Structure 1
Amino acid sequence: MDFTSGSASQQKEGDDDDGDDDDDDDDDDDDDNDDNDNDDDDDDDNDDDDDDDDDDDDDDDEDGDDEDGDDIDDDDDAMMMMMMMIMMMVMVMMMMMMKMMMMMVMMMMMMVAMMIMMAMMILKFEEKNQEEYG
């Protein structure tokens, strides 16, 4: 009986080789194709996004700066600076509560440096706008 069960399992494996499982895999592929169909629907959504991008392109043509991506990078840098400033302010508050004066002074100096860097970025940005529009 053991041999027959072994041969039955071999027959199952043989069925696998015959392509039954391959058919199952094909069914899975069909499912994948269904997913791809859904992806096609997403592509349609992306086409809508492309339309939005066209609108953005119009905005880029008006601004003229966004084509290089410089303005976007500047905005990202400014946001990073703002987040770091807020984090530093929170750390300074915690240090005030814990009375760690040396660390607090160092954080204050770093905050001043960040403010100077932000001011320089803003001035650079304004100067670029003056050159283009002024």
Structure 2
Amino acid sequence: MEERLKELRQVMKKKVFNQLEFTDQLKNSIHTEIRKQVESDEYVYLSVLQLLVQEKTGVVLITYLRSRGIKRFEENEGLLYSLLHRLEVNGLLVSKWEENEAKLYSLTDKGQKILRKAEKKYAVKQSYLKEILEV
């Protein structure tokens, strides 16, 4: 796969983009916009799973997600609880109530296995994206 991407990049340089010129300012703005799209669904799920390796409440989880730049749940926290419920139904999370009526979430063994696979896949994907962006 990596070799095919390199070949595609070379062909595109020769045929597709040979008449286009990008200023450094334009390149930087394009790279900035791509980085802003970090909040993809895949990244959000991966972040939630990573953060729930240790037990957390939904409120604490939102704080940590915000620190990672994920602002999707700020206006509508219910979206996070829907996502957590979906992950729990699929067997990736387990929840329990504390005495002070706070619900705690953590990964199951299945969730940890999925997390490891997702981290490997995401790392490979990021390396391909980085290689493509390095013009």
Which is richer in helix? 1
Give the alignment's TM-score, normalised by structure 1.
Answer: 0.33
Computing the radius of gyration from Cα coordinates, the structure with the larger value is 1
Give the alignment's TM-score, normalised by structure 2.
Answer: 0.33
